[in-house]
Amino acid sequence: MTNRLRWIVGLSLVGFVAAIAWWLRPEPLALDLAVAVRGPLRQSLHAEGKTRVRDRYVVAAPVTGRLDRTHVRVGDSVVAGAVLASLAPTPLDLRSRRQAEAQVAALEDACRSATAQVRAAAAALEQARRERLRADSLAAGGHIAAAGREAAQLQETTRARELEGAEARAETAEHDLERARAALAAAGVEQGGGPRTVLRAPVAGRVLLLLEESDRVILAGTPVLELGDVSRLEIVSDLLTTEAVLVRPGDTVLVEGWGGDSALLARVRRVEPSGFTKVSALGVEEQRVNMVADLDRVPPELGDRFRVEVRIVLWGAADVLTIPESALVRDGEGWVVYQVVDGRLRRQPVTVGHVGGFAVEIRSGLEPGDVVVRHPGAGVVEGVRVRAAGGAAT
């Protein structure tokens, strides 16, 4: 065999082995890849909330009575002082009426008795005064001892105090009689009798809630309806107390999911100082606290107690290097990513900054344009050949 033939055979064998090796080599892993880019990033809290009228007025019944059917309906606009409803005195049944009339008659008799006692006390005082004057004259002439004069003076003082007591009892009886007569007159003798109590709007606004609509007897203090100005709305959202400590008055709030095309802007006014316990959908007790924010603009479509979604911006920057948060892998106390270099994976330590939504700030370890693996799984190890899922090898 000539040298030339040997070279031809050797090269053929090398090519054949190389072809087999190429055919048997493992396919590159198809992975979801992402590129490190510079851009804006916001760190925010997401929560559900609702709108609330800032100043709510509850109109309640000042007295017990029969509520007439209200003059307004939910959504009606009213001016300050407008008549909302009226209360008629509760009519008495025959038995209660007779008892009330008997009570008035008894108190009239008590007033006459008290007046007679006042007259008797006044007469006794006048007699004691004459006896004291006579004792003064006798004592001046030396006809009685000083003790007799002092006894006459004490008797006059005692009768004066008795007159004061009788007059006070007479006044009390008169007041009781006035109260009984007023109760009897206010109750009336028939349905609708007696003076009516009118419920008026304390402020201008719209009727938010009608708590009592039908004609029925209600007790004093029973809420009848709620009023408020729907152009003055605020946002209230209950946050976990561990999240609420990060929120400060003045923080920007983006109000989303309210039904409009764009987010509304609001500002945190306060985080309430007292929390409360709330049971989650999973049955877990959570400590929560209300955050209240003021809307910069209130759309006319929004009303009281409408559901919204809020995003409270805790931190923001216009130009930072970011990658998807799903690319991070915990490495002890730090973080690493799997970077794609020349089609193969390299384990790259990174320094992480703020986290916003699904993106994370990278402070060191990567440069803009670097490619990293999203959601690295068990088969992702350093040195493995990879390609983008659905595309050619990277």
Under CATH, domain 45-53+230-317 is a member of which superfamily? Efflux pump adaptor protein, beta barrel domain (2.40.30.170)
Look at residue 50 in the predicted model and tell me its pLDDT. Answer: 95
- Cα–Cα dist 377/394, whole Å: 18
Amino acid letter for position 137: S
β-bridge pairing 197-200 and 329-331: unpaired
**Start-end of H helices in the chain:** 3-24, 94-140, 146-187, 241-244
N-to-C CA span, the chain: 46
Residue boundaries of the structural domains of the chain: 27-41+318-388, 45-53+230-317, 57-91+193-228, 95-173
What is the full DSSP assignment across 161-199? Answer: HHHHHHHHHHHHHHHHHHHHHHHHHHH-SSTT-S--EEE
Torsional sign, CA 11, 12, 17, 21? positive
Do residues 127 and 179 lie in contact, with contact meaning Cβ atoms separated by under 8 Å?
A: no
Contacts of 182 (CB under 8 A, 6+ apart): none
Look at residue 304 in the predicted model and tell me its pLDDT. Answer: 92
- Cα–Cα dist 165/77, whole Å: 57
Name the CA radius of gyration of the chain, rounded. 46
β-bridge pairing 371-373 and 33-35: antiparallel
CB hemisphere CA count around 28 (13 angstroms): 18
Look at residue 7 in the predicted model and tell me its pLDDT. Answer: 66
Burial classification of residue 1, based on how many CB atoms lie within 10 Å of its CB (0-12 exposed, 13-18 middle, 19 or more buried) = exposed
Let me know if domain 57-91+193-228 sits in CATH 2.40.50.100: yes
- Cα–Cα dist 243/237, whole Å: 12
Do residues 181 and 75 lie in contact, with contact meaning Cβ atoms separated by under 8 Å?
A: no
Do residues 169 and 113 lie in contact, with contact meaning Cβ atoms separated by under 8 Å?
A: no
Which residue is listed with tokens 């049955």? 283
β-bridge pairing 29-31 and 386-388: parallel
383 Cα distance to chain centroid: 57
Amino acid letter for position 85: A
Look at residue 156 in the predicted model and tell me its pLDDT. Answer: 84
CATH of domain 27-41+318-388: 2.40.420.20
pLDDT in tens, the chain (394 residues): 566 666 666 666 666 555 554 554 556 677 888 999 999 988 889 999 999 999 999 999 988 888 888 888 998 999 999 989 888 877 666 676 677 778 888 888 888 888 888 888 888 888 888 888 888 887 777 777 778 778 888 888 888 888 888 888 888 888 888 888 776 766 554 444 557 788 899 999 999 999 988 888 888 889 999 999 998 999 999 999 999 999 999 999 999 999 888 899 999 999 999 999 999 888 999 999 999 999 999 998 999 999 999 999 988 888 999 999 988 988 888 999 998 888 888 889 999 988 887 899 999 999 999 999 888 877 777 777 887 775 444 4
Give the C-alpha distances (Å, rounded to integers) separating 138 from 131, 147, 148, 153, 155: 11, 12, 9, 13, 16
- Cα–Cα dist 295/306, whole Å: 14
Q: What are the φ/ψ torsions at residue 81 (nearest 5 degrees)?
A: 90, -5
Point out which residues pair with 315 in neighbouring strands: 43
Look at residue 142 in the predicted model and tell me its pLDDT. Answer: 74
